[in-house]
């Protein structure tokens, strides 16, 4: 589980056994889910990074038990959710939208991953 802030709004992200990242409002309403992995998600972390164009973005890092590490631009996950939830928040779990988002990067560590910690420190 991870709490993130985007454009002044707080969200709770959970990586689950159903291979999805679920996005919740800070009040607990599920806003959307994203199919992120082919196996259960074992860890989430986030870091603010400078992109080549000079912009700063929060990047979500997710790892799954099959060894895949994926990086996601938080704006790509949250912006569609924020727009949708502002218009009409889901009234039940079956109404929660499932987003389709492409990762920024994918790496196969070829080991069973159980956690992740992201850092912007470069050595």
- DSSP three-state, residue 118: coil
Rounded to a whole number of angstroms, the distance between the first and last alpha carbons of the chain is: 28
Q: Taking residues 112-116, report their average pLDDT.
A: 89
The Cα 28–Cα 30 span in angstroms is 6
Instruction: Please check the confidence at residue 20 and state whether its pLDDT lies above 90.
Output: yes
Predicted local confidence at residue 92, as pLDDT: 57
**How buried is residue 121: exposed, middle or buried, by Cβ count under 10 Å (0-12/13-18/19+)?**
exposed
pLDDT for residue 85 is more than 70: no
Structure tokens at 92: 């039940």
Q: Residue 82's closest CA among 19, 5, 3?
A: 5
Q: What is the pLDDT of residues 32-58, one digit of tens each?
A: 889 999 999 999 999 999 999 999 999
Token pair for residue 55? Answer: 């912009």
Q: Check: CB of residue 68 under 8 Å from CB of residue 38.
A: yes
């Amino acid at each position: 589980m991870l709490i993130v802030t985007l454009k002044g709004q707080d969200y709770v992200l959970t990586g689950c056994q159903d291979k999805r990242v679920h996005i919740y409002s800070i009040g607990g309403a599920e806003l959307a889910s994203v199919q992120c992995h082919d196996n259960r998600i074992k860890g989430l972390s986030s870091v603010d990074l400078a992109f080549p164009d000079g912009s700063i973005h929060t990047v979500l890092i997710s790892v799954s038990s099959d060894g895949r590490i994926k990086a996601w631009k938080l704006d790509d996950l949250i912006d569609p959710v924020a727009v949708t939830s502002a218009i009409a928040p889901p009234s039940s779990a079956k109404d929660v939208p499932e987003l389709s988002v492409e990762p920024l990067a994918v790496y196969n560590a070829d080991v069973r991953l159980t956690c992740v910690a992201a850092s912007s420190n470069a050595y």
